[in-house]
A and B are shown apart, each in its own frame.
Chain A
Amino acid sequence: MTESLRIGVFICHCGTNIGGVVDVPVVAEYASTLKNVVHAECNLYTCSSDGLECIKSAIQEYELNRVVVASCTPRTHEPLFRATCEGAGLNSYLFEFVNIRDQCSWVHMHEPELATEKAKDLVRMGVAKAALLEPLEELSSDVIPSAVVIGAGISGMTAALSIAKNGFYVHLIEKEREMGGLLSRLYKLYPTEELVDDFLEQRIKTVGGHERVELHLSTSIKNITGYVGQFKVILDENGAEKSIDCGVIIVATGAKELEPEGLYEYDGKRVITQLQLEEKLRRDALNVDGIKNVVMIQCAGARGEVVRYCSKICCMNAIKNAKLIKEANPDINVFIAHNELQAYGEEYELYYRAAKKAGVRFLRFPREKRPKVRTSDGKLIVDVFHDRMQMNIPLDADLVVLSVPLVQNPDAESLSKLLKVPLGQDRFFFEAHVKLRPVDFATDGIFLCGTAQGPKDIEESISQGYAAASRATIPLAKGYVRSAAITSSVDEAKCVGCGICESVCPYGAIAVVETEEGRRARVTGVKCKGCGTCGSSCIKKAIEMHHFTDEQLIAQERAAFVIEAVVSG
């Protein structure tokens, strides 16, 4: 570094929030004695417009080339101070934040002297790091203004249509010969009891007919490369290979019914699944078969039997089918053996009541005593232990219907590897944050919706389809993505290409490639989030984190313990 270091330090009183505990003028006085510090001052509120003006004029007046603010938290205020530095002509990464509110005045409010000492320590550390800061640039790259949506079930169709309506081109990819997904195999929807065929027909027409939606039916994904804004998707469309460039990708691959092999005497004939029942209902086959007693068993294979989770939709789906059977054939007895009943929300509770009114009989069994299906003289009998009456009730059945959970499609595994996005413990695609980012992946530019994320009903699948469309439209509408300046970089002279970094990177941002010098790790800056995982796992110390270099952090740590070295003499 040829230029001489000129560091300015600004210590905030925050009214009495910091000033009431920490002796701010003393800390400022101390800061002015530190090596490379040419200016130190205290402000009543550094973040107020007056305070920001002080920073700007000090940068001019004292020709500062590094700025340290000791105040509250970078979570809320770092962008403000960075922008202020930028505004005064200083690269915004030449700014260092020291938090003396949360870490001093708040946690040590009853020990003001010690809080002041700690504030001095933190400021000294911040100054030591600031001396080694380097200017960084945020890079921006273009976004191809089109989307790929994988899966043309209800959520994928919804997402594709909304992105198209937002003004962008969409490739909708479906492995089957038709759109509609799992939904197309159902008979009616709950709670409206609208015919699925009518419902789907209209939507398929709208989506397929949109000028900005290009359908790829009977198509599978061969390969995916690239990153947000610049993806390349290789398709196998009816045996022909096709390449598509796009800016964003939405995963809407849906789910399938669990096959209840070996459970409850399942045979696909007299003991069937709800989906098989829907197919019978579509053909009005119950009358034909002369069925008198139908017993539905909830949580078959779910909630600890085969899978651990509750599949969310099975209670309402069973209630719907039971009600439809009962209304069409009042002479048929329909029983639903259940444990908990998931009639959540506004409509479903009412629908549950309507089914009861229609004559559907509900029997609750304890979770640890699931029903048993047996055959006696060729007849099917379902033994249900009644929870409230605490006794076994044997039910004659001509047809047993198992409400089995939705499970992940088997090909999700390979898609997750192609996209480098994770599956959860339940095998469903794992979103970026369970609470706050339900339709995002941690990797930028890739989104998800519908039952690929977990069991959900039609309405919620549609809602997520729109949500994914909104998230995916953002980079398309912007037209560019800005990559963070705080990324990692590889010193190829030190790298031995072991690949540990690649295996730990949660964003698929670092990969080992063949170079003329041999195997070396390379970072794709646009994908990197600067989390530092690769850096900390590199056994050759070949990876450096910009803005958090080993040199900077060690200097900061040394300053915590070696006081004299950083006080100017």
Chain B
Amino acid sequence: MKDKSVLVIGGGVAGMQASFDLAEAGIKLCLVERTPSIGGRMAQLDKTFPTNDCAICILAPKMMDCYRHENIEVLTLSEVIAIEGDIGSFKVKICEKPRFVDAEKCTGCGDCARVCPMGIKSKFDMDLRVRSGANVPFMQAVPLIYSLDRDKCMRCGLCESVCGKDAIRFNQKPGIVERDVSAIIVAIGFDPLDPSGLTEYGYRRYDNVITALEFERLICAAGPTGGRVIRKDGSEVKRIAWIQCVGARDTRDNRPYCSSVCCMYATKEAILTKEHYPEAETFILYTDLRCFGKGFQEYVNRAEGDYGVEYIRGKPGEIREKEDKNLEIFYSPTSDKVEKLEVDMVVLSTALIPSEGVEKLAEILGTELDEYNFFKLKDPYNPTETTRTGIFVAGYCQAPRDIPECIAHGSAAASRAMEVVLGGSYDRIT
């Protein structure tokens, strides 16, 4: 009997969960990840709410479980370029981009990275660190295989000369991989919104206005500053404010939805700031405090009561930069007042939006997106079924949800794929 298998697109926490469940149930699958490592957005976070667990510490074992599983084939630096067929017999074409490193030989020692003279901004570290042209995105990357940036490479050959395993391959070409699968799960996650277009906040114009994901890298002990939250001039923060709903619940760019996770991650980031700098003053400016999940209200109570995080209701109308590069935030707490809050750093809790390339992928898959580019469900009470039979969706790319919800959604999509593969059920389930 021919092995029936599944394709999972996206190696973030939802895609990994779906893959792991399927693999454990004895189903072979191919996990396709666009970047050099699985792990997704969660790998970029410092801690997670509401338990303040170290994100990568709890994620890394899951990444290894996936990668080492005998039923999972992980293809990194890879993208789906075409599919044919139907539920039960999809034919998938995947493009594997060259790493310029022999994946079999590379042991991830990093000798190549230490000699490479190139300096390139690290996307993983939100451009806050300069990395070399031979790179793994982060220390716990899975697979731990280096890749070279050939676009910017000067071909000096230093990496080749130091590599003890003779693993450098300057002439590697892209490869096309074809797989037959019975079902497909899409779990391509989200991107943070670039808030430069929302001029009232001064992002990129003002020195000390950053985004929440940039903050995660700064506060992370393994990040570019070793956990120091520093301003552009190198000084550490003393008064810091988070601004909620930046680009979210906002009809200007047709983004009326709530990103669902920002109130809680801002609360977490404020708590972490207090843990790093007990003397610092922290403010969260919000519209509605959305602390609806398990243990969330209790977490906010702790932030307020134990850590002294100050919650202020009011969405800023404007931020001004002073000469000393401090920032003045203007907001209106009641209908007859405008107040000013001066801080030395502003963190923007930006809307989370569907990942770049989602439209192209949806076109390849033949699935519909909704008007905000999230994957559309055939039926709102069938939370993993896309508009195309046999293609399921998991995680944030369907709608905003937090990590445990993404994991449950990943497992849910896995069960739907199991219905196809184990149960031979090709009909729509109500």
Q: Which residues from A are CB-within-8-Å of B68?
A: 79-80
Cross-interface CB contact of B425 among A48, A165, A349, A474, cutoff 8 Å: A165
Cross-interface CB contact of B429 among A165, A460, A471, cutoff 8 Å: A165
Encoded as 1 (CB less than 8 Å from any B CB) or 0, chain A from 341 to 363 comes to 11111111110010000000000
Please count the residue pairs between chain A and chain B whose beta carbons lie under 8 angstroms apart in the complex: 214
- State whether A342 touches B414 (Cβ < 8 A): no
Q: Which residues from B are CB-within-8-Å of A161?
A: 429
Decide yes or no whether A15 CB sits under 8 A from chain B: yes
- State whether B48 touches A435 (Cβ < 8 A): yes
Decide yes or no whether A372 CB sits under 8 A from chain B: no
- State whether A308 touches B412 (Cβ < 8 A): no
Decide yes or no whether B81 CB sits under 8 A from chain A: no
Cross-interface CB contact of B165 among A48, A350, A428, A466, cutoff 8 Å: A48
Q: Tell me, rounded to whole Å, the shortest Cβ–Cβ distance linking B357 to chain A.
A: 20
Q: Which residues from B are CB-within-8-Å of A166?
A: 415, 418-419, 422-423
Cross-interface CB contact of A428 among B105, B294, B301, B334, cutoff 8 Å: B294
Q: Tell me, rounded to whole Å, the shortest Cβ–Cβ distance linking A390 to chain B.
A: 5
Q: Which residues from B are CB-within-8-Å of A49?
A: 104
Encoded as 1 (CB less than 8 Å from any B CB) or 0, chain A from 520 to 563 comes to 00000000000000000000000000000000000000000000
Complex-state Cα separation, A297 to B16, whole angstroms? 42
Decide yes or no whether A64 CB sits under 8 A from chain B: no
- State whether A464 touches B109 (Cβ < 8 A): no
Interface residues of B in 96-122 (CB under 8 A from A): 104-105, 107, 109-111, 114
Given contacts A463-B405, A466-B416, contact A15 B111 (CB under 8 A): yes
Q: Tell me, rounded to whole Å, the shortest Cβ–Cβ distance linking A90 to chain B.
A: 20
Decide yes or no whether A192 CB sits under 8 A from chain B: yes
Q: Which residues from A are CB-within-8-Å of B407?
A: 435-438, 467
Encoded as 1 (CB less than 8 Å from any A CB) or 0, chain B from 159 to 193 comes to 00000110000000000000000000000000000
Decide yes or no whether B226 CB sits under 8 A from chain A: no
- State whether B412 touches A435 (Cβ < 8 A): no
- State whether B26 touches A478 (Cβ < 8 A): yes
Decide yes or no whether B382 CB sits under 8 A from chain A: yes
Decide yes or no whether A16 CB sits under 8 A from chain B: yes
User: Which of A120-128, A198-206, A221-229 contacts its partner?
Assistant: A198-206
Encoded as 1 (CB less than 8 Å from any A CB) or 0, chain B from 284 to 307 comes to 000011111111111001000000
Complex-state Cα separation, A428 to B48, whole angstroms? 21
User: Which of B212-220, B320-328, B395-403 contacts its partner?
Assistant: B395-403
User: Which of B50-58, B123-131, B150-158, B235-243 contacts its partner?
Assistant: B50-58
- State whether A309 touches B297 (Cβ < 8 A): yes
Decide yes or no whether A138 CB sits under 8 A from chain B: no
Q: Which residues from B are CB-within-8-Å of A433?
A: 58
Q: Tell me, rounded to whole Å, the shortest Cβ–Cβ distance linking B90 to chain A.
A: 19
Interface residues of A in 467-518 (CB under 8 A from B): 467-471, 473-474, 477-478
Q: Tell me, rounded to whole Å, the shortest Cβ–Cβ distance linking A462 to chain B.
A: 6
Q: How many residues of A contact B (CB 8 A)?
A: 77
Interface residues of A in 201-222 (CB under 8 A from B): 202-203, 206
Decide yes or no whether A439 CB sits under 8 A from chain B: yes
- State whether A167 touches B422 (Cβ < 8 A): yes
Cross-interface CB contact of B301 among A206, A308, A390, A477, cutoff 8 Å: A308
Q: Which residues from A are CB-within-8-Å of B227?
A: none
Interface residues of B in 21-58 (CB under 8 A from A): 21, 24-26, 48, 50-51, 53, 58
Q: Which residues from A are CB-within-8-Å of B412?
A: 462-467, 469-470
Cross-interface CB contact of A453 among B25, B48, B294, B399, cutoff 8 Å: B294
Decide yes or no whether A303 CB sits under 8 A from chain B: yes
Encoded as 1 (CB less than 8 Å from any B CB) or 0, chain A from 299 to 335 comes to 0000110001110100000000000000000000000
- State whether B404 touches A344 (Cβ < 8 A): no
Q: Tell me, rounded to whole Å, the shortest Cβ–Cβ distance linking A385 to chain B.
A: 12
- State whether A470 touches B292 (Cβ < 8 A): no
Q: Which residues from B are CB-within-8-Å of A167?
A: 422-423
Decide yes or no whether A5 CB sits under 8 A from chain B: no
Given contacts A14-B107, A45-B109, contact A345 B257 (CB under 8 A): yes
Q: Tell me, rounded to whole Å, the shortest Cβ–Cβ distance linking A188 to chain B.
A: 13
Interface residues of A in 442-466 (CB under 8 A from B): 453-454, 458-460, 462-466
Interface residues of B in 381-430 (CB under 8 A from A): 381-384, 399-401, 403-405, 407-416, 418-419, 422-423, 425, 429-430
- State whether B64 touches A44 (Cβ < 8 A): no
Closest A residue, CB atoms, query B427: A165
Decide yes or no whether B61 CB sits under 8 A from chain A: yes
Cross-interface CB contact of B25 among A75, A191, A349, A473, cutoff 8 Å: A473
- State whether B25 touches A478 (Cβ < 8 A): yes
- State whether A48 touches B107 (Cβ < 8 A): yes
Interface residues of B in 246-293 (CB under 8 A from A): 249, 256-258, 260, 288-293
- State whether B297 touches A310 (Cβ < 8 A): yes
Interface residues of A in 386-425 (CB under 8 A from B): 387-390, 424
Q: Which residues from B are CB-within-8-Å of A206?
A: 429-430
Encoded as 1 (CB less than 8 Å from any B CB) or 0, chain A from 72 to 84 comes to 0001100110000
Q: Tell me, rounded to whole Å, the shortest Cβ–Cβ distance linking A458 to chain B.
A: 6
Interface residues of A in 164-212 (CB under 8 A from B): 165-167, 189, 191-192, 199, 202-203, 206
Cross-interface CB contact of A460 among B295, B370, B405, B425, cutoff 8 Å: B405
Decide yes or no whether A340 CB sits under 8 A from chain B: yes
Complex-state Cα separation, A304 to B300, whole angstroms? 12
Q: Which residues from B are CB-within-8-Å of A477?
A: 25-26, 418, 422
Given contacts A310-B297, A353-B256, A462-B382, contact A346 B288 (CB under 8 A): no
Decide yes or no whether A17 CB sits under 8 A from chain B: yes
Closest A residue, CB atoms, query B421: A166
Q: Which residues from B are CB-within-8-Å of A13?
A: 109
Q: Which residues from B are CB-within-8-Å of A80?
A: 68
Complex-state Cα separation, A424 to B295, whole angstroms? 10
Of B25, B400, B408, chain A has the most CB atoms within 10 Å of the CB of: B408
- State whether B422 touches A349 (Cβ < 8 A): no
Decide yes or no whether A246 CB sits under 8 A from chain B: no
- State whether A439 touches B298 (Cβ < 8 A): no
Encoded as 1 (CB less than 8 Å from any B CB) or 0, chain A from 8 to 20 comes to 0000011111000
Closest A residue, CB atoms, query B424: A167
Decide yes or no whether B91 CB sits under 8 A from chain A: no
Complex-state Cα separation, A166 to B418, whole angstroms? 6
Of A80, A304, A350, A436, chain B has the most CB atoms within 10 Å of the CB of: A436
Closest A residue, CB atoms, query B420: A165
Q: Tell me, rounded to whole Å, the shortest Cβ–Cβ distance linking B382 to chain A.
A: 7
Given contacts A75-B64, A166-B423, A206-B430, contact A346 B51 (CB under 8 A): no
- State whether A343 touches B297 (Cβ < 8 A): no
Decide yes or no whether B380 CB sits under 8 A from chain A: yes
Complex-state Cα separation, A280 to B273, whole angstroms? 50
Complex-state Cα separation, A435 to B62, whole angstroms? 12
Complex-state Cα separation, A334 to B3, whole angstroms? 59
Cross-interface CB contact of A44 among B53, B164, B380, cutoff 8 Å: B164
Cross-interface CB contact of B415 among A76, A387, A436, A469, cutoff 8 Å: A469
- State whether B288 touches A343 (Cβ < 8 A): yes
Q: Which residues from B are CB-within-8-Å of A15?
A: 107, 109-111, 164
Closest B residue, CB atoms, query A465: B412
Q: List 16 A-B contacts (CB under 8 A).
A: A14-B109, A15-B164, A45-B107, A76-B60, A79-B68, A162-B429, A308-B297, A343-B288, A344-B258, A346-B370, A346-B372, A426-B295, A435-B407, A436-B58, A462-B412, A463-B412
Extra 18 A-B pairs, beta carbons < 8 Å, given A76-B64, A460-B405: A17-B109, A44-B164, A75-B60, A166-B423, A167-B423, A304-B297, A312-B292, A340-B289, A346-B370, A346-B399, A436-B58, A438-B404, A438-B408, A460-B383, A464-B408, A470-B412, A471-B21, A473-B418
Counting from the closest, the 10 A-B pairs by CB-CB distance are A15-B109, A466-B412, A467-B411, A470-B415, A45-B107, A467-B408, A438-B404, A477-B25, A165-B419, A312-B292
